[in-house]
Amino acid sequence: MTEETPGFDEQQPQSAQPQQPDVPSGSEDAEPKAAPQEGAAPAGAAAATAQVAGLTAQLDQVRTALGERTADLQRLQAEYQNYRRRVERDRITVKEIAIANLLTELLPVLDDIGRAREHGELVGGFKSVAESLETVAAKMGLMQFGKEGEPFDPTIHEALMHSYAPDVTETTCVAILQPGYRIGERTIRPARVAVAEPQPGAQTAKAEEAEGASGADDKESGGPDEG
């Protein structure tokens, strides 16, 4: 006969029932999660605003730098254009100086050719060579000036001889001893001339003669007092 253990039937139902852990309800779990989501919206907007402000500041810096570089480029371009013009002007000046120096060395040869032409010695092969040389000098821009009878100009004439003449009314070139030469507006040698000035007292005598002639005409016509 088996002995029954007292209290076994009373404890068995308690041990047979499984114990469940305490799990918070769904309503209690939703409330703490909703609070952080409501506070995250202003923080995100502030961060976006700060980011936009930072990008705007960077854009302003880039625009400022671009304006400075553009100004530098424009200044360099203007300096380069000025440099090119200056180089071109210097090149032309150097070329003109070189041509002038060359033609200046040829002036004695041209003077000899002119004298030979005046004396009728410019004939044969020498004439052909002389004319070719004069043609080349003219192509290089050499121009001859100086004629008898033109008024004396100290800027382009050099007076080597001086005299007086009753038939001139101003200082006049009466003989061309050596012609002058120029290249464009630049005179490389003045014309060497003999000049004549009006005879001293000639103008006074002519004025007195003119006054006397007008007085005689008045007398012949009865004078201005008649009538």
- The span from the CA of 159 to the CA of 133, in Å, is 28
Decide if pLDDT at 223 tops 90.
no
Residues 151-193 have pLDDT tens digits of 999 999 999 999 998 888 899 999 999 999 999 888 999 999 9
- Classified as helix, coil or strand, 115 is helix
Could you tell me how far CA 61 lies from the centroid of its own chain?
A: 35
Q: Is the pLDDT of residue 57 over 90?
A: no
CA distance 59 to 62: 5
* pLDDT (tens digit per residue) in 7-56: 444 444 444 454 554 544 444 444 445 445 555 556 778 888 888 888 88
Query: Which pLDDT score is estimated for 208?
Result: 62
Rounded Cα–Cα distance for residues 139 and 144 (Å): 13
Mean pLDDT, residues 85-90 taken together: 93
Pairing of strands 186-189, 157-165: unpaired
